[in-house]
Amino acid sequence: MSAPFLPFTRPSIDEATIAAVVQVLRSGWITSGPRVLEFESALAQRCGGRSVRVFNSGTAAIDIALKLADIGAGATVITTPLTWVATANSILAAGALPKFVDVDAKTRNIDVARIEAAITDQTRVIMPVDLAGLPVDRDALYAIANARGLRVIEDAAQSLGASWRGQAIGSTGDFVCVSFHANKNMTTGEGGALVLPDDVDPKLCERLRLQGVTRLPDGGMEVDVLGGKFNLTDIAAAIGLGQLASLDEFTARRRHLARRYFERIDPALGLELPLADFTNANWHMFQPLLPPRIDRGQFIAAMKGHGIGIGVHYPALHLFSLYRRLGYRDGDFPVAEDIGRRIVTLPLFPAMHDADVDRVCTALAAVLS
């Protein structure tokens, strides 16, 4: 009997969380309500007491952060081309333009040493992305932002549970956006959160989240800003509360599995492994680079033949037609382009057994040898 298919990720939902969702469904109050408030409070506690508001996606959190930072037409936002396209799409949706900076070959995050040269009179924000849960150098990043009077919107969609110099991601910094998508280290099915800086009114964030509405004591309402429909449901918040309680356990298990990959992958296969950071990173993904001689599509098909799912996170997004229309071309960001052509995501999630890692490594040897 062949082993069951091993996907590159799978959420871990325990019975207590399922029971909590059932309780919400039976309560008669399933949209935003007491569970959302409880979830925001728990997240705020994890983020050092900072104000946190939850949304129906991580993308919504970025959209609202850009509004709160007053980013619009004429502004540019510095970010990385090696990220999920929502990062840059949100900048365009705000009416601003993304200004891409190439990545560092070792960390695969934005090359902080190149940021200064990309700043112009139109630059208003730096938006770093913690690829695969490895934090960008916060010290160097904020030194530049503070010296140049720029805001920072951290796209920490993948890095909840990670840390920088012993401080949890989200507990420091300016705006911090996280995602609770189904493939993240903790999930609400779909969802996200925004950690707010002290100079931003949480009530304004709430109005932007839900159509700009303020409820009045007499039962009426007022609308003073153009908001959207970005609220999270109590159903999703119930999942999030269960997940948050297990996040540290999830992170520890991910780190263990990542260590096993480093131990078991045969160096002779020619894979370029990610930075072995077991202090700061939360190991959202384990992403080697294929040898240049290997066709990625054929590799993915061959691994699927061994019952193993492989992801790709991410192609360099400036080469998508939407961004080519803004003037970006092949060769603009050679490091990101090379990584984007060769990167693959191996299975990594808390429910995996050590033997699953060994199975992946055996398949790698069979396919790449």
Q: What is the pLDDT of residues 216-270, one digit of tens each?
A: 999 999 999 999 999 999 999 999 999 999 999 999 999 999 999 999 999 999 9
Closest to 146 measured CA to CA, from 170, 107, 117, 174: 174
- Tokens 């401080």 locate to 167
Type of residue at 142: Y
Structural contact between residues 24 and 234, judged by C-beta atoms closer than 8 angstroms: yes
Task: Sketch out the chain's domains with CATH numbers.
Answer: 15-241 (3.40.640.10), 246-368 (3.90.1150.10)
Distance between CA 352 and CA 246 in Å, rounded? 15
Assess whether 203 carries a catalytic annotation. no
Average the pLDDT over 281-304 and give the result: 98
Kindly write down the DSSP assignment for every residue of 146-211, as one continuous string: HHHT-EEEEE-TT-TT-EETTEETTSSSSEEEEE-BTTSSS--BS-EEEEPPTTS-HHHHHHHHBT
State if pTM tops 0.95.
yes
Q: Tell me which of 67, 99, 106, 184 is the catalytic residue.
A: 184
For the record, the structure tokens of 130 come out as 């913690």
Instruction: Please calculate the CA angle 104-105-108 and round it to the nearest 5 degrees.
Output: 65
187 to 32, 270, 273, 331: CA distances (angstroms) = 17, 34, 26, 36
Residue pLDDT, tens place only, 58-110: 999 999 999 999 999 999 999 999 999 999 999 999 999 999 999 999 999 99
> Is the pLDDT assigned to residue 2 strictly greater than 90?
no
